[in-house]
Structure 1
Amino acid sequence: MTNSFGTASILEVGNETYHFHDLTRLGAGFDVESLPYSLKILLENQLRTEDGVNIQADEIESLAAWVPEQSSGEVLFSPARVLLQDFTGVPAVVDLAVMREAMESLGGDADRINPLSPADLVIDHSVMVDFFGSSNALEKNTQREYARNGERYEFLRWGQQAFNDFRVVPPSTGIVHQVNIEYLASVVFSTIRD
């Protein structure tokens, strides 16, 4: 990766060494402190993923010099993780499966087709209330849910086994935001790169 702005830094914790980009090292001419937090996140992401092709120095400079109501343009963002709810996530898994089929038909290695970022798909809001007023109502409703949507769940189970960095959280675990906060979310992501 490129380091046009000299923000690459090292953090040592115990015997581990971590590389990160320090926004305070961005340099003169950029008032990073006044940027909204959302833009600081995007700026760090661009500094970390700068490669001179997809993310170039002039794009980072434009974002770092952001001025409300004067700045415009697109910002490329490469998330560390993607959270999907089943109604939007199933089409994404279908797209990946179709890309694998196309790769295979072209004589390529279909196993190379995987999500670019780790992805978690939470099946939520899918259990309908057919049974209530008894201690086993949730269990009976969940069983009925699997009977109604068995094909979809089998497909998602296949996707979880077929694709790298793709996890599926089954129905009746909770709603997507709750599951994310309680079980899945991380504040800091650490990735081993060559």
Structure 2
Amino acid sequence: MANPFSSRISLETAAGRLDAFSLPALERQGLGRVSTLPFTLKVLLENLLRHCDGYHVTEEDVAYLAGWDPVAGEQREIAYMPARVLLQDFTGVPAVVDLAALRSAMARLGGDPKRINPLIPVDLVIDHSVQVDRFG
């Protein structure tokens, strides 16, 4: 795990050691007034910091968001890599059907259908009646 801006900290808990990234460390290094950022931007900033690899997310990306100025008017894309995706049944069921169709196509073409999987963990919440023919 990279340690951009020397921001990674370790915490000892009863469950073992946990690694986290310190947003105040960015402010101490003069990257911006991180403590005054809106909460949603702090979440995005921590995500950038956690995934800063110099390729998908660069230190420049982290510095840009840490120094965000609401009146600057500059718009810039940033990477976002969620830890998981939560799907409600209305959107999740079609996604599961798409995955099943892709796996079937892969098998028909002689490939390994087990290679068709989401890259990010997905939780599907079903809040309506659903018939299950098979489960696993």
Normalising by structure 1, we get a TM-score of 0.59
What are the residue-to-residue correspondences of 1:145-160 with 2, within 5 Å? 145=129, 150=131, 153-154=132-133, 158=135
In structure 2, the partner of 1:86 is 89
Measure the CA separation in 1 of the matches of 2:105 and 2:3: 36
Measure the CA separation in 1 of the matches of 2:66 and 2:109: 43
Question: Which runs of 5 or more residues in structure 2 are unaligned?
Answer: none
Measure the CA separation in 2 of the matches of 1:98 and 1:50: 34
Contact 1:2 1:52 survives alignment (8 Å): no
CA RMSD of aligned residues (A): 2.3
What are the residue-to-residue correspondences of 1:60-139 with 2, within 5 Å? 60-70=62-72, 71-105=74-108, 107-124=110-127, 126=128
In structure 2, the partner of 1:22 is 22
Deviates more, 1:33-42 or 1:53-62: 53-62
What are the residue-to-residue correspondences of 1:49-64 with 2, within 5 Å? 49-64=51-66
Measure the CA separation in 1 of the matches of 2:52 and 2:98: 27
Displacement of 1:43 in angstroms is 0.5
Displacement of 1:12 in angstroms is 0.7
Does the C-alpha gap of structure 1 residues 108 and 12 become closer, same or farther in structure 2, counting only changes over 3 Å?
farther
Residue type of the alignment partner of 1:13? T
Residue-by-residue CA offset, 1:26-83 (whole Å, 9 max, x unaligned):
1213210111000000010111112222212211111111111424122222222221
Residue type of the alignment partner of 1:5? F
Identical pairs, percent? 47
Normalising by structure 2, we get a TM-score of 0.81
SS where residue 83 of structure 2 aligns? coil
Displacement of 1:4 in angstroms is 2.5
Displacement of 1:106 in angstroms is 5.4
Question: Which runs of 5 or more residues in structure 1 are unaligned?
Answer: 127-144, 162-194
Aligned length: 133
Displacement of 1:10 in angstroms is 0.6
Does the C-alpha gap of structure 1 residues 92 and 69 become closer, same or farther in structure 2, counting only changes over 3 Å?
farther
